[in-house]
Every structure is written in C-alpha cells, then in structure tokens.
Structure 1
C-alpha cells in the first residue's frame, strides 16, 4: 500500500497550478481503479467471487455484491469531498467512509471509520464504525445514552437533519463532505444535512461501499483545505 502525506499532494498541486493553495484532485480517473485498492472478504475464500467495483461507460460502479469496500491508497485530512452518485436500478444501500483505518474492524467487514450514509432516503446519516462523533441533541437523535456504542450490537446510527434532500430515484445526487480537524459537515444537493464534531479521528483513508445495491459514481473529487496561520 502506498501511503502519502496530504501535504505532499498539496505541494505537487501548488507547483502545478501556479501557487493555488486549493486545487481539486480527481480521485477517480474515469478509466481504472488507480489509487484505490479493494477489500472484499468473500474474495479471500470463494474462487468465483467477483470484484464488485468496476468501470462502466466512464463511471465507477459499485455492483453491491459481494459486499466490501474500495479504499484509497492515500490517507487524507482537512478536505472537501464532492461525489455525484445515483442508484441506477432499485433503491438501496451504500456509503462513503471517512477517516478509515484498520480494515475489517466491525463484523469482519467494515474498516474503522465514520460512515456518511448514502442509503436511499437516509443520505447524510452518520454511522459510527469503531470511531465516534458527536452532534447537537445527541439523545434525541441517537436514542438512550446507555445504548450508544461504536461496535457490534450498539446504537451507532446518528440520523440526518432533513427529509427530502435526495433527488428522485435514477437522478444524480451531489454529496459534499467537509472534514476539517475532527469536525464533519455533510450537504446533499446543496442542503446541509448533518454536522458532527469531536470525532475520535481526524485523518485516514476514504472508502466507498459495496453494500447490496448497484450505485453509479460519475465524480469523486477531493479539495484540500489549507489553514494558514497569520
């Protein structure tokens, strides 16, 4: 696995783009999975198991099965992630994981991370995956405090703030995830749908899920956020 510090990428972008301190990086090149690796447990032991992440008509497609993750080789911190996605067939489940680290930490499937949900009609929910995050009105949104947790059998979901932010099935949605220090903000189609803080991580890889439903991605773009002291 190649691990590069974000500032190395930022320096390269700054030189290339005449001193611009914030330059969008296309994480998906439209041709192949360069810069990513897969972690699909079924492929360890089932010879006929396929890679559920493919390129089709210039789009990155998660076929949904077998379940697993497509993970960036690089770790990132302080960034905006802009993703255009749609469920091309039946509505279903998928997600973007940020601050991802130790693989297969939950249910021997999910890497340690914080998930930003893409599930149809739940886009923007947070799911705590062996990492935690806080939001305003925690007990109202997450349920009784004694049931909270970040591992199997615990209340790990923190619902989003809105209804109706997603486009009709088959249309493209734009999700923006802003990660700055240990704070995460999420917009769906330009509407702020979640805001969390005091996350237990502030850096890590980015992952896309295969979680039972086919999802098409036409852009996966990252913009570093630089905080320059005066």
Structure 2
C-alpha cells in the first residue's frame, strides 16, 4: 500500500513539473507571427517587419513610395502586378555585426534573394551590384540544377555546405544570416549552407574571377543595408528580426 502511494505521489510530482515547464514555455512564446518572446526582447532582438506595414523599408534608390510590396495576412509580399512600382525593398537602417532571421516562401518555380551590405547610391544602379546574396529558390526552378544557385547559397560563389532543399511551395522556410567582423554564415531550415570571410584575400580573388568583377563596389564593405529582392513569382516574408552583435 505504501509503495502504491509512493508511485502515485511520484506521478503527481512529474505531472506538476511537466505542467510548470509548459506554462513557462507558453508565457515566453509569442502570441503569433511577427512577435518577439520576452526572452528575445531581453536579449535585444528587434523586429524589422511589424506584420502590418512596410515601416522601416523603402524601394532601393526610390525612397518610400507606394509599390508592389504589400502586406497581406501578416506577411510581406511582392506582387506580380505590373501596374505597381517594382524594385528591391531595402532597410532604412544599415547593419554591420548581426544575427538576422526570417521566414520566406516562394511558388514552386520562384526565384528571389536577400542581399546584405548593400550600398545605396545613384552610382550603384542595383542592390546586387554591391551586396552579396542569400539565394531563395523554389524547388521546381531550373536553377536548382546549378549547385551554386540553390537556396541558402552565397549566390554563384559556392555550393551548399550541407545539401538542403526548400520546403514545398506554400510552406514557410526558416533562414538565418550571421555576420561578424566580415565573416558570414548562412543557414536554411537549421542547416549550415554557406561560410565566407568578406575581408579575406580568398574572397577578393573569388570576386575578381566572377561575373561581379565589373561592379567596383561589390562585396567590398562588410556593413550596409539589407535588401529583399523583387524578382519572380511573388516572394513573401515574415518574422524578420535582427540582433546586433
């Protein structure tokens, strides 16, 4: 009888501990997308997209004008509407050492990207003429057959370190870009996909032998704006957040 009571007591204690852990986890969880947990706030994370507006962003070299970048259902979409003003969307602020995380999705044959260290000026006609690219790609796009252009790649420079495909169309992918003292690491769905030191002689040599060699500002500076590419098949983003390191 005592043994049975002891077992029941242990079970009650275990249930209490599990419940307590779940309550703590729920308390720290965000209410929905485009929200920060209390822990993230304490750590210094900032939202770059509020889930309602394009506040904090503008069209590259065009300023804050109405555009094809629209907010729908808590996500930042680039529509295919030809009547709207198109262009890459860039952050109002520049960043140097940071941990950037975001969710993205594309149609099955979609193509887009996120650029870092973008130097916005009339002398630089496009975001990609200055900023290295984290590639975004749908699983049915022809470029999936090109190792240096798969999702999560440092676009056109190297294949994925760990092979990983994007999730099926309509599902959200999780991306992460970390830059510290010029050293960058890319992740796709929690897998490391790219590493590079933008201050190294090897990087300079790679640029000099690439299709970007004709752009004098490309990859030269390890700080700048973040840009979301307006390309094809309606890319969408949510949960864009950053931690300055």
Q: Which band: TM-score by shorter chain?
A: 0.5 to 0.7
Change (3 A) 1:105 1:90: farther
* Uncovered stretches (5+) of structure 2, i.e. residues with no partner: 1-38, 139-143, 145-149, 200-219
Distance 1:213 1:193 in 2: 23
1:118 is paired with a residue whose SS is: strand
Aligned to 1:116: 134
Aligned length: 172
C-alpha distance after superposition, 1:132-153 (max 9, x if no partner): xxxxxxxxxxxxxxxxxxxxxx
1:98 is displaced (CA, Å) by: 0.6
Q: 2:70 aligns with which of 26, 33, 54?
A: 54
| Cα 1:172/1:92, change in 2 over 3 Å | same
Partner residue, 2:178: 178
Q: Which residue of 2 aligns with 1:6?
A: none
For each residue in 1:84-108, what CA deviation from the matched residue of structure 2 results, as whole angstroms up to 9, or x when unmatched?
0111x342111111111134666x3
Q: In the alignment, is residue 206 of structure 1 matched against residue 226 of structure 2?
A: yes
CA distance 1:26–1:35, change in 2 (3 Å): same
Distance 1:126 1:105, change over 3 A: farther
Q: How does 1:1-230 map to 2 (within 5 A)?
A: 20=42, 22-39=43-60, 51-63=67-79, 67-87=86-106, 89-103=107-121, 108-111=125-128, 112-120=130-138, 121=144, 122-127=150-155, 157-199=157-199, 200-225=220-245
Distance 1:99 1:26 in 2: 19
Quote the offset at 1:165 in angstroms. Answer: 3.6
Alpha-carbon RMSD = 2.8
Structure 1 residue runs of 4+, over 4 Å off?
A: 64-67, 103-106
Kindly tell me: are residues 84 and 123 of structure 1, through their superposed partners in 2, closer, same or farther at Cα, counting changes over 3 Å? Answer: same
Deviation string 1:157-202 (CA, Å, 9 cap, x unpaired) is: 4332233342222211000000111111011000001111134322
Change over 3 Å in CA distance of 1:194–1:218 after alignment to 2 = same
Q: Which has the larger radius of gyration?
A: 2
TM-score (ref. length: structure 1): 0.66
Please state whether the residue corresponding to 1:194 is helix, strand or coil: strand
SS in structure 2 of the partner of residue 61 of structure 1: strand
- Rounded Cα–Cα distance in structure 1 between residues aligned with 2:176 and 2:127: 22
User: Of Structure 1 and Structure 2, which has the larger fraction of its residues in helix?
Assistant: 2
Do the aligned residues in 2 keep the contact of 1:81 with 1:178 (CA within 8 Å)?
A: yes
1:77 and 1:202 in contact (8 A); partners too: yes
CA distance in 1, matches of 2:227, 2:123: 14
User: Could you tell me whether the CA contact under 8 Å between 1:173 and 1:188 is conserved in 2?
Assistant: yes
